[in-house]
Amino acid sequence: MFERKVNKTKAWKKLESHCKHFRKVQMKDLFDIDENRADKFRVNLDAVYLDYSKNRINERTMRLLMSLARDCGLEEKIKAMFRGDKINVTEKRPVLHIALRNRANTPIYVDGKNVMPQINEVLAKMKKFSDAVRFGEFKGQTGKKLTNIVNIGIGGSDLGPVMACEALRKYWAKDINCYFISNIDGTACAEVLNKVDPETTLFIVASKTFTTIETLTNARTCRKWLVDALGEHAVAKHFVALSTNREEVEKFGINPENMFEFWNFVGGRYSMWSAIGLIIAIAVGFENFERLLDGAHAMDQHFLNTDLEHNIPVILAMLGIWYNNFYGIHRYAVVPYDQYLQYVPAYLQQLDMESNGKFVSVDADYVKYATGPVLFGGAGTNVQHSFFQLIHQGTEIVPTDFIVPAISHNEIGEHHEILLANVLAQGEALMRGKTIKEAAEELKKAGKSKEEISYLKKFKSFEGNRPSNTIVFKKIDPYTLGMLIAMYEHKVFVQGVVWNIDSFDQYGVELGKQMALSILPELQGNAYGVGHDSSTNSLISLIKRLRK
Ligand code: G6Q
């Protein structure tokens, strides 16, 4: 660990003064003076293209951003992650989601031990099991094929599997249905159990620690439901566990033979490539799961081996730093124009905000600059009819990533062309805007009176100069999804390096887990509130009264 204050580096100072000058620059003027701008600010890896020309940047901006990245030791930090160094410094752990998809199978050592054999062993076990379920060889207690697969997990043990299963819905086996129970709200359990039949249901209990109250409570409820219907023996045929904690899995009553292991060097939000991806492998088949890993591996290799200037995750990350730390824009939207990618924003929200929502640096100092932004999003075109008003005309600027497949899995009539026209129009409109004069002319053409024009013209104008990235690929398939998700993982990593924070701990999430446990007995009437503030105490009493 070396001490460093990123905001005291030369590159940071230069970026500050560059930004002062650049604030007045309009992107549309940059496009007008340079017909090659789109080519200059575009990069691709295979069939994934990033157009970042609609940003408030020129070549000097990118040069300075890359020298900031170098000043922060980024190149060495990337190597350290891939080497298996303990870069999760607060938890003293390596960060090796890249090993889970290390398709080259090169050795990666943790404390002198190559981790690849154990990873390969679990992958082989996942292949065997997912094939057996898909082909009806692993049957339920009464001999029926298991066609309803229910993943019980929360946070990192839920969001990746949900997002990837939905993204790859077109690849699901015809007779398999996937369900997800995450929330402790009984509704989550009830709604799924109402739909499935115990004889044909496989429950996957996904929990890294196997101590998370939501997951264990949901798993116990599902276990009881199954045992009530089919008897205790049925558990061995209908329950499997994904965890790092063998002891707790056994205590829960799942045979360790039915456990798929992963390890502490895999963070929850980075775990969909591990055993946590079992439901993905069952839904889409192990070969497709491997394609997902292959895509991620291709992005890993690009990230590790490409110079910063052409490195997709690095470019995305440094653009984020530019807005966050120099323009003071602490928001960011991700909008996939693909219905199957509808859960990508929720997935990225955890990835980004849980990794980089930190105010203490790795040197245990309070940071003196902004770190992770607020991330939100949703599928286009739907969100054009909701929060896009603010993105176009709000007082807040929201840099936006558009994610665009050129081909839809459902090419019906002109649907996809209309969708594509929309996303391209959004990016252009955000960049170009509409002057008051242009708005007035439009109103005039529409036959409005002078008074109406003079009143309405400001409402109808758009200041423009609002940045966006456009990420285009051919079609969402397992390989491309792997590339996209790995791209964002590495983007988040780069930003964590620049901000000098530990992107791989999550003490904020752990706080919630502890606090609920202390209030629970009070709500259940077995204890009385001590040490709470008066608001919490009175809310506890109010809720107890209402529940009587
Ligand atoms: C992820 C977080 C968090 C975690 C859940 C579930 O990085 O740590 O979202 O995944 O709290 O934890 P378990 O998998 O241990 O149940």
**DSSP-derived secondary structure for 199-258:** GGEEEEEE-SSS--HHHHHHHHHHHHHHHHHH-GGGHHHHEEEEES-HHHHHHHT--GGG
Same domain, 396 and 364: yes
Tokens representing residue 230 in the block: 């089919």
Q: Which residues form the domain of 208?
A: 109-289
Parallel, antiparallel or unpaired: strands 109-110 and 113-114: antiparallel
Terminal-residue alpha carbon distance, the chain: 55
Distance 145 CA to ligand 1 centre (A): 31
Q: What is the dihedral of CA 10, 13, 19, 21, to 10 degrees?
A: -100
Distance 61 CA to ligand 1 centre (A): 38
Structural domains of the chain, count? 3
The catalytic position among 354, 358, 416, 490 is 354
Same domain, 493 and 512: no
Same domain, 232 and 368: no
What are phi and psi for residue 470, nearest 5 degrees? -120, 120
**Residue 274 domain flag:** yes
**Residue 385 domain flag:** yes
Same domain, 337 and 281: no
Position 415, amino acid: H
Same domain, 193 and 253: yes
Question: Which of the listed residues 241, 264, 289 is the one where a domain comes to its end?
Answer: 289
Distance 506 CA to ligand 1 centre (A): 9
In Å, how far are 28, 431, 455, 464 from 438, measured between CA atoms?
A: 15, 15, 14, 13
Same domain, 348 and 472: yes
**Residue 342 domain flag:** yes
513 is known as an active-site residue: yes
Same domain, 232 and 330: no
**3-class secondary structure, 261:** strand
**Residue 326 domain flag:** yes
Same domain, 402 and 522: no
**3-class secondary structure, 331:** strand
Distance 24 CA to ligand 1 centre (A): 44
CA dist., res. 495 & res. 353, Å (int)? 12
**Residue 220 domain flag:** yes
Radius of gyration of the chain (CA): 25
Q: Which atom of ligand 1 is nearest to the CA of 154?
A: 6
CA dist., res. 528 & res. 542, Å (int)? 13
CA dist., res. 520 & res. 513, Å (int)? 11
**Residue 301 domain flag:** no
**CATH code of residue 532:** 1.10.1390
Per-residue confidence of the chain (548 residues) as pLDDT tens digits? Answer: 444 689 999 999 999 999 999 999 999 999 999 999 999 999 999 999 999 999 999 999 999 999 999 999 999 999 999 999 999 999 999 999 999 999 999 999 999 999 999 999 999 999 999 999 999 999 999 999 999 999 999 999 999 999 999 999 999 999 999 999 999 999 999 999 999 999 999 999 999 999 999 999 999 999 999 999 999 999 999 999 999 999 999 999 998 999 999 999 999 999 999 999 999 999 999 999 999 999 999 999 999 999 999 999 999 999 999 999 999 999 999 999 999 999 999 999 999 999 999 999 999 999 999 999 999 999 999 999 999 999 999 999 999 999 999 999 999 999 999 999 999 999 999 999 999 999 999 999 999 999 999 999 999 999 999 999 999 999 999 999 999 999 999 999 999 999 999 999 999 988 887 777 888 888 888 666 567 899 988 999 899 999 98
**Residue 118 domain flag:** yes
121 is known as an active-site residue: no
Protein residues with CB under 6 Å of any ligand 1 atom: 154-157, 207-209, 212, 215, 267-269, 354, 506, 509
What are phi and psi for residue 4, nearest 5 degrees? -160, 145
CA dist., res. 377 & res. 495, Å (int)? 20
CA dist., res. 188 & res. 414, Å (int)? 37
- 500's torsion region: left (phi>0), alpha (psi -120 to 50) or beta? left
Predicted local confidence at residue 514, as pLDDT: 79
CA dist., res. 353 & res. 156, Å (int)? 13
Same domain, 498 and 533: no
Which of 90, 151, 182, 209, when mutated, tests ligand 1's pocket best, judged by the most ligand atoms within 8 Å of its CB? 209
Which of 93, 154, 350, 502, when mutated, tests ligand 1's pocket best, judged by the most ligand atoms within 8 Å of its CB? 154
Parallel, antiparallel or unpaired: strands 148-152 and 239-243: unpaired
CA-based torsion, 156, 157, 158, 162: positive or negative: positive
CA dist., res. 230 & res. 200, Å (int)? 11
What DSSP letter does each residue of 152-198 carry, written as one string? E--GGGTHHHHHHHHHTGGGS-TT-EEEEE--SSHHHHHHHHHH--G
Same domain, 212 and 223: yes
CA dist., res. 234 & res. 197, Å (int)? 13
**Residue 543 domain flag:** yes
What DSSP letter does each residue of 90-125 carry, written as one string? TTTB---HHHHT-TT----EETTEE-HHHHHHHHHH
Same domain, 357 and 373: yes
**What pTM was computed for the model?**
0.96
Same domain, 499 and 512: no
**CATH code of residue 175:** 3.40.50.10490
Structural element, H or E, at residue 403 = strand 400-405
